[in-house]
Amino acid sequence: MLAASTLVTLAFYVFGTNWWWAVLTDGYWGYGYLVLDAIVFALFVDIIVLQGIVTNAILGVIGAVVSVIPV
Amino acid sequence: MPDGRLSAGAIRRIAVAIKAVAIIGIVLFGGLAVVVATAPDAVERAARGYVSHRLHAEVAAIRAGSPAIAALIPDPNLAALYAVQLRALQQQASAAAEALLDKWLASLCKDACGDVAKARGLLHAAFSALPESTKTALGNLQAIGQGRFESIVDKLRHELTLISVANLAIFLFLLLVASIAREQRLVVLPAPCSPPRRW
C-alpha cells in the first residue's frame, strides 16, 4: 500500500504539475508532497484494511452538510 | 471454490514486485539525490535548458500571432533575445507608466490636491496588492531576463532534494521491510486480509 500510494502521488507530482508555472512562481509542492502521500496512503489503508469506514464517515458528514445548505 | 484470498505463490510474486519497485525507486531517487547534491552545475544547466526551451515555445506562439514581435526577434537564439527584449520592454513600460502617472496626477491635482506623493503611495499600494504569485512570476522573469538563475536554481535544488530524499526513505523502508519480514504475506497485506496461518 505504501508502494502504491507513493507511486500514485509521484504520478500526480510529475504529471499534474505545470512545471513552467512552478518555476516562474516558485509554486513547488515542498512538504505538500509528503502530506498528499500520507493522505493517499491513509485512504488506501482505510479502503483495504478498514473497508472504507473512515472514508464513508467523512463522505457522510460532507453529504449531510451539503444537504443542509439551501439551494 | 475460491475464497478471495491470495495464494502463497501470488503473495510471493507481489512481494518480489514490491522489492523490484523499491530497488528501482532507490536507484532513481538515490541517483537524483546524488546528482542534486554533487553536481549543482548539472541542475543549473537543466533549468537553463528547460527555461530556454519554454521561452522558445512562448516566443514562437507570440510570433505566430504578432508580426511586430517577430520583427523584434530575428535572431535564431530566440530565448536570449526574448529575455533581453523582455527587460527592455519592461523598462520602457515602467518609464511610460511613470510618465503617464505624472501627467495624470498633474492634470488631476493642479490646485486641489497638492499631495502627489500621497496619491502615488496609494497607487503603489494598489500595485503591491497584486497576487503574490504574480509578483513572484514578475520577479523571476526579471531574473531570467538578467541571466540570474541562482535563486531559481536554489529553489529547484531544494525541491528536488526534498522529493528525492523523501522518496528514497520510503523505498528504502519498503526494501528493508520486504527483506527482513519473517513472513512475506505480512508485507503484502495486513493480517485480516492474509491467508490463515498454517503452523
Residues of B in contact with A6 (CB under 8 A): 25, 167, 170-171
State pTM to two decimals.
0.60
- The pLDDT of residue B105: 60
Across the range A10-35, mean pLDDT stands at 84
Separation CA A55–CA A47 (nearest Å):
8
Separation CA B108–CA B105 (nearest Å):
5
- The pLDDT of residue B20: 87
Contact A3 B22 (CB under 8 A): yes
Contact A28 B159 (CB under 8 A): yes
**Locate cell 509528503: which residue?**
A34
Report phi then psi at B39, rounded to 5. Answer: -130, 70
pLDDT averaged per 10 residues in sequence order, chain B, 199 residues: 65 80 89 87 82 74 57 55 62 66 59 58 64 72 71 84 89 83 55 48
Contact B152 A23 (CB under 8 A): yes
- The pLDDT of residue B71: 55
Shortest distance between the Cα of A57 and any Cα of chain B, in A, equals 21
Where do the structural domains in chain B lie, given as residue ranges? Answer: 8-92+150-193
Contact A26 B54 (CB under 8 A): no
How many structural domains does chain A have?
1
ipTM of the modeled complex: 0.75
Picking from B140, B167, B173, the nearest residue to A24 by CB comes out as: B140
Task: Give the structural domain span for A32.
Answer: 2-68
- The pLDDT of residue B39: 84
Q: Give chain A's end-to-end CA distance (angstroms, integer).
A: 40
- The pLDDT of residue A26: 78
Q: How many CB atoms lie within 10 A of CB A39?
A: 12
Chain A's closest residue to B161, CA to CA, is A30
- The pLDDT of residue B114: 53
- The pLDDT of residue B80: 56
Contact B136 A25 (CB under 8 A): yes
Residues of A in contact with B167 (CB under 8 A): 6, 10
- The pLDDT of residue B88: 67
- The pLDDT of residue A48: 83
Distances (CA, A) of B168 to A15, A43, B34, B84, B120: 19, 22, 11, 40, 52
Shortest distance between the Cα of B170 and any Cα of chain A, in A, equals 8
Confidence grade of residue A4 (pLDDT, cut at 50, 70, 90): confident
B183: left (phi over 0), alpha (psi -120 to 50) or beta: beta
